[in-house]
Structure 1
Amino acid sequence: MTAFTRSWQGLRPRHGLLPGLLIGLGLGGFFDGIVLHQLLQWHHMLSSWYPITSLDALELNTRWDGYFHSATYVFVVLGVFLLWRRGGPRRDFRDGRALAGAVLLGWAAFNLVEGVIDHQILGVHHVNETVPRAAWAWWDAGFLAWGAAMGVAGGLLVRGR
């Protein structure tokens, strides 16, 4: 076994990595959509492109929020299905930690991909559009930092440390 193979051994699918990643992607999307879109109303899916200044803009953003929620729901359903097909997590502590780590890695992937693509590259929305525009970048950076922290924590749990 090479050093490269040993270093990636903790990330093998036998620890439920794929189901956990899918569940984490979905939970990250649920948190974003439910907390940031609906409860706090800091942004909607296309709110930087189509600010909520009319009923038509609100309807458009709400529709795209629905598409977004539908995709995150599919991630969770697929993850739960794959986990069920594998017989669920094993009963020992390490496998539960590995699954939790995989969920954190999936949620981190959601935050990092969403934060870079939607916030930075496309600019379709920003984390908190209720603050002055000059502060948007700080909220976006915090979202990315939160994703990176979850990625580190998830990676450590998956590797069993």
Structure 2
Amino acid sequence: MATTAGEAGTGPEPASLRLPGIVLGVGLGGFVDGILLHQLLQWHHMLSSTDSDRIGVRYYDPRTVSGLEMNTVWDGLFHTVCWLAVLIGLAILYSRVTRERRRVWTSRVLWGWILAGWGVFNLVEGVLDHQILGIHHVRGGPHQLWWDLGFLVLGALLLAGGYLLARSGRSFDPAGAPA
């Protein structure tokens, strides 16, 4: 069960909020990426750089109807994974929180771990898809490396800031809090 500490920084954060916070952050961070960068700004799609990838995936030019259709399917699969991460994070959180739900939703601990999870998403997605696989970049073109590095820096800042925010919050065990 989770550890309870009275004051900020006097003990470990409740493990019961860490996992659901990180899983929620991964899903929500993915949604920000997918909605903002894929749909609204249209800077990239899941397979928009496969003409120069490192794994040999067939190229689907997003400037053609058939290419955009295939990229949209893969963007949809990406959003499905994000949606599942949010549902799983909420399910884990709900299973662990029996009392004081409002206090949990307003806690620095939970929101810190959500930000940390978003940072984890950026770092994993940025290293795997942008660098290792090369299937897409934040924004293609002559400065794509700088955009990709900025995405990684943002991920590191979210992870560090989220961790610090979680550490600064008042720790409590949401399952054992007084009614």
**Cα offset, 1:11, TM superposition:** 4.8
Please say if residues 83 and 89 of structure 1, whose CA atoms lie closer than 8 Å, have aligned partners that are also in contact.
no
Tell me the secondary structure at the aligned position of residue 107 of structure 2. helix
How high is the TM-score relative to the length of structure 1?
0.85
In the alignment, the residues of structure 2 paired with residue 82 and residue 54 of structure 1 have an alpha-carbon distance, to the nearest angstrom, of: 41
In the alignment, the residues of structure 1 paired with residue 130 and residue 103 of structure 2 have an alpha-carbon distance, to the nearest angstrom, of: 40
**Cα offset, 1:52, TM superposition:** 1.4
In the alignment, the residues of structure 1 paired with residue 99 and residue 66 of structure 2 have an alpha-carbon distance, to the nearest angstrom, of: 46
The letter of the residue matching 1:71 is V
How high is the TM-score relative to the length of structure 2?
0.77
Tell me the secondary structure at the aligned position of residue 139 of structure 2. coil
In the alignment, which of 79, 95, 98 is matched to residue 85 of structure 1?
A: 95
In the alignment, the residues of structure 1 paired with residue 98 and residue 87 of structure 2 have an alpha-carbon distance, to the nearest angstrom, of: 14
CA 1:158/1:10 → structure 2, altered by over 3 Å: closer, same or farther? farther
Q: Unaligned stretches of 5+ in structure 1?
A: 1-6
Report the identity percentage.
50
1:58-97 to 2 correspondence within 5 Å?
58-87=68-97, 90=100, 96-97=107-108
CA 1:52/1:97 → structure 2, altered by over 3 Å: closer, same or farther? same
CA-to-aligned-CA distance 1:115-158 (integer Å, 9 cap, x gap) = 000000100000012xxx22000100110010101111111122
**Cα offset, 1:160, TM superposition:** 2.2
In the alignment, which of 134, 142, 145 is matched to residue 134 of structure 1?
A: 142
**Cα offset, 1:55, TM superposition:** 1.5
In the alignment, which of 94, 113, 133 is matched to residue 122 of structure 1?
A: 133
Q: Unaligned stretches of 5+ in structure 2?
A: 1-8, 51-58, 170-179
Structure having the higher Rg: 2
The letter of the residue matching 1:101 is G
**Cα offset, 1:12, TM superposition:** 4.7
Structure with the largest fraction of helix:
1
- Are residues 1:151 and 2:153 paired? no
CA 1:120/1:88 → structure 2, altered by over 3 Å: closer, same or farther? farther
